[in-house]
Chains A and B, each alone.
Chain A
Amino acid sequence: MTAIQTGPASQTGPGIPAPPAATALLRLATAGSVDDGKSTLIGRLLHDSSALFDDQLEAVAASSARRGHEGIDLSLFTDGLRAEREQGITIDVAYRYFATPRRTFVIADTPGHAQYTRNMVTGASTADLAVILVDVQGGLTEQSRRHACVASLLGIRQVVLAVNKMDLVGFSENAFDAVVDAFLGFAAGLELDSVTPIPISALLGDNVVEPSAAMAWYGGPTLLGHLERAPVGRSAAVATGARLPVQWVHRPAPGQPRGARAYSGTLAGGVLRPGDEVVVLPSGTRTTVAALETFDGPLAEAVPPLSVTVRLADDLDVGRGDLLASAADPATVTREFEAVACWLDERPARPGGRYLLKHTTRTTRAVLREVVHAVDVNSLVAAPAGTLAANDLGRMRLATADALAVDSYAANRVTGSFILIDEATHATVAAGMVSP
């Protein structure tokens, strides 16, 4: 049994390199089912923003013709695996990429049917914004409510309510308002900063990339127009002081003093500058930042999500998995905490059972003390439960072998999140968010 260190051995440092930012990057999750026209919407977005290539257009045109479709079936652009085509379903999150002169976009396309909660949680975990698609004819469904709940729970604060198939209700403002009113009434109970309702027709293209001539009563932005201007980055990530999970320790070369050690990681909160007082957690030792470096040389300041190498003023025992935190605003060191988790595995949670827990760059053993309660994914209301099955959400109490330096997920998405791994199968069985 071996664990793969995902950290690199290079001097430049840690983590997945960020794509070069010629324009700002917005990560969004789309939620909705095939029936709501989600595949058609994404196809329309890619098509009308000229993100599709000629060979993709030709392949889909040929495929559309073969399936007896007149013209191009836009939903085929997001067509995935053979099993999905055969069964007419989507079985997994797919990632799509497109860019406009203003901005680069990564879409986490989460299916609405099978494994919906698990897939939605996966897509939402890295998203800045969620697009929730509703069929105007069917109105707000249980699924729409579920998507809004999961987005809110995962810390997404901006939601676009895309009210689709407006062409089928004669582009009626009243029909649009009814859906919007129902959604806003429901969303008032969720922690969302903004809800942007947009009436669209994915099939015809109204208000997706081009403004709709048929809906003069609508004065807001098109979907793409809104995505190009929506704030990037998750406000939650900077609600704490500096956080640097240590991913890699640079040992001094032979002949160099011990103090030549340096620590690399991806900054996960706050701002770090030379001279800042920091505390090494969980040990609690205080020191100051002597220097910040990248491959290109020294830095005067580092902000998330920069990957950076830190030299400390004192020669301390710091290893992978430790957290360098702002001394003025440190994380909480604990061996026992509560969290809201989404259960991901087919085998239900085993209260009293042992798991591996991965939190930032540290993996430790954990015991699931108890399932406190389940959380209804359609309302976020608590309900009694002894365990959690696949796709269930619930609050649980965990105890860990090593002390962890945690923040609440609401305060910091990196130091507030963890996964549970089955010791025998090595499956990722739960995605957890530390409770305040």
Chain B
Amino acid sequence: MLEFRDRRVAEFAGQLLVASVQDAIDSGLVPDPGDPTASRNRLQSATLLDAIARHGFDACIGGARRDEDKARAKERVLSFRDEFGQWDPRRQRPEVWQLYNGWVRAGEHVRAFPLSDWTELDVWRYVEREGLELPSLYFSHRRLVVEREAMLMAVGPFTPARPGEVPVEAAVRYRTVGDMTCTGAVASEAATVAEVIAEVATSRLTERGATRADDRFSEAAMEDRKREGYF
């Protein structure tokens, strides 16, 4: 994943700025969770907001889609964040036609979600049509996993098997790529884009429901994190 990222950066001759949760922990910006295997998902928001403030970004582009979650179903294409980085669903700017209001004052920013109206299947069909290259994690590969709450969680140094869990090697792929401690893989033999499309088209589980432990904390897990500034 990181190798893929760095290669793309080199191709575009762009400047890569990295904000990492580990750096945020080391600098004391966010509390050290202590247990290295604990999920760092919630620490991402503070890390992200700090980076946005430090670099003075007016806008951040994300790949979130409205079909992912009920809180995201109410998200704007161009979504205002106040100086605390908060999303306030009651005070969103009305978004009429395609006239997006991107005006912000110093300290405020907008999140831009150009793929708002796409579905997971739309994304894969686009990848196929345009012949886009993707990181290998999105395709079937062999990996040591344990089954936990109906998700396949990778086993590794930061994500050890828990007592009673038996790691098995399985053919899996990821539908979303995120924090390993809370992002599950799905059993899959789909090794090509066409095979992934066939799989997604017949899937009976939503992308986040199938693979994201962080969305399962409560009925409003995504809403709560979005309010805090999560992407």
Binding site for B on A (CB under 8 A): 1-6, 15-17, 19-20, 22, 53-56, 59, 63, 79-83, 85, 91-97, 99, 106, 118, 121-122, 125-126, 344, 356, 358-359, 413-414, 417-419, 421, 426-428, 431
Q: Does B95 contact A (CB under 8 A)?
A: yes
Q: Which of B96, B114, B115, B223 contacts A122 (CB 8 A)?
A: B96
Are A83 and B101 CB-contacts (below 8 A) given A53-B203, A63-B219? no
Task: Please state if B74 and A81 are interface contacts (CB–CB under 8 Å).
Answer: yes
Assembly CA distance A84 to B6 (angstroms): 43
Q: Counting chain A CB atoms within 10 Å of each CB, which of B58, B73, B121, B205 scores highest?
A: B73
Closest Cβ of chain A to B89, distance in Å, is 5
Residues of B contacting A97 in the complex (Cβ-Cβ under 8 angstroms)? 66-67, 117, 119
Are A2 and B74 CB-contacts (below 8 A) given A56-B209, A92-B89, A417-B97? no
Residues of B contacting A418 in the complex (Cβ-Cβ under 8 angstroms)? 99
Task: Please state if A122 and B94 are interface contacts (CB–CB under 8 Å).
Answer: yes
Are A19 and B223 CB-contacts (below 8 A) given A1-B103, A125-B97, A421-B101? no
Binding site for A on B (CB under 8 A): 58-59, 66-67, 70-71, 73-74, 77-78, 89-90, 92-106, 110, 112, 114-119, 121-122, 125-126, 129, 203-206, 209-210, 219-220, 223
Task: Please state if A4 and B58 are interface contacts (CB–CB under 8 Å).
Answer: yes
Task: Please state if A106 and B117 are interface contacts (CB–CB under 8 Å).
Answer: yes
Closest Cβ of chain B to A113, distance in Å, is 14
Task: Please state if B205 and A4 are interface contacts (CB–CB under 8 Å).
Answer: no
What is the chain A residue whose CB lies nearest that of B208? A55
Are A92 and B92 CB-contacts (below 8 A) given A6-B78, A20-B122, A81-B220? yes
Task: Please state if B73 and A91 are interface contacts (CB–CB under 8 Å).
Answer: no
Residues of A contacting B126 in the complex (Cβ-Cβ under 8 angstroms)? 17, 19-20
Assembly CA distance A413 to B103 (angstroms): 23
Are A17 and B102 CB-contacts (below 8 A) given A83-B89, A95-B66? no
Q: 10 tightest A-B contacts by CB?
A: A4-B102, A55-B209, A426-B103, A125-B96, A431-B96, A19-B122, A94-B73, A54-B204, A82-B220, A53-B206
Closest Cβ of chain B to A346, distance in Å, is 10
Task: Please state if A80 and B209 are interface contacts (CB–CB under 8 Å).
Answer: no
Task: Please state if A121 and B104 are interface contacts (CB–CB under 8 Å).
Answer: no
Task: Please state if B99 and A427 are interface contacts (CB–CB under 8 Å).
Answer: no
Assembly CA distance A194 to B32 (angstroms): 62
